[in-house]
Structure 1
Amino acid sequence: MVNKEKVLEALKKVSDPHMGLNIVDMGLVKDLEVDEEGNVKFKIIPTNPMCMSALHMAVQAKEEVKKLEGVKKVDVKIEGHVMEDELNKILND
């Protein structure tokens, strides 16, 4: 069964390409939720509201979590970015 610890371990494989640090240690992952059915939900808050890598990191994060056994659905939202509506549409379509 998937849990928050497993999700965080998977998310540590995703790094900010400019900083070279993973998104968990950088504190970019917020509001992580994992329910009993394997639905995972979290937000990515970039350090810069114009971060050019926000979508790239969010797509990578979604893919890494999808690989975990027991994950049914992954819902990722980008917040705090000047183009968050557009990026979230791309990310979740």
Structure 2
Amino acid sequence: MVSKEDVIKALRKVQDPHMGISIVDMGLVRDIEIDDNGNVKFIITPTNPACMSVLGMAMQAKKVVEELEGVKKVDVKVEGHFMEKEINEMLNEP
């Protein structure tokens, strides 16, 4: 089974394109949850509510976690962005 540490390690590969620092080290990722079936959920909060890079960072974050062994599904939610509803719809399309 995938662990929270595995998820954090994978998410450290995702960098804010403007700062060159991982989204984990910047404190943008929170509320990581993993259930017994390998479903992972977490929230990304951009530093700026108009951040133009948040969709790309969230998509990359979803991809690196999906690649972990034992992960069945990844649900990423963006909070604190003025377009969060539209971004979340794009991120989690079936």
TM-score (norm 2): 0.97
Q: Which residue of 2 aligns with 1:22?
A: 22
Look up the SS of the partner of 1:75 in the other structure: strand
- How far does the alpha carbon of each residue in 1:55-82 deviate from its partner, in whole angstroms, 9 at most, with x for none? 0000000000000000001000000000
Q: Which residue of 1 aligns with 2:70?
A: 70
Q: Which residue of 2 aligns with 1:4?
A: 4
List structure 1 segments (4+ residues) > 2 angstroms apart after TM superposition: none
Q: Which residue of 2 aligns with 1:92?
A: 92
Question: Percent identity at matched positions?
Answer: 68
**Within 1, Cα distance between the matches of 2:73 and 2:92?**
11
**Pairs aligned (count):** 93
Q: Which residue of 1 aligns with 2:37?
A: 37
- How far does the alpha carbon of each residue in 1:40-63 deviate from its partner, in whole angstroms, 9 at most, with x for none? 000000000000000000000000
Superposed CA RMSD:
0.5
Aligned amino acid, residue 78 of structure 1: V
**Pairwise CA distance, 1:37:** 1.0
**Within 2, Cα distance between the matches of 1:35 and 1:8?**
15
Q: What are the ranges of 5 or more consecutive residues in structure 2 without an aligned counterpart?
A: none
- How far does the alpha carbon of each residue in 1:9-68 deviate from its partner, in whole angstroms, 9 at most, with x for none? 000000000010000000000110011110100000000000000000000000000000
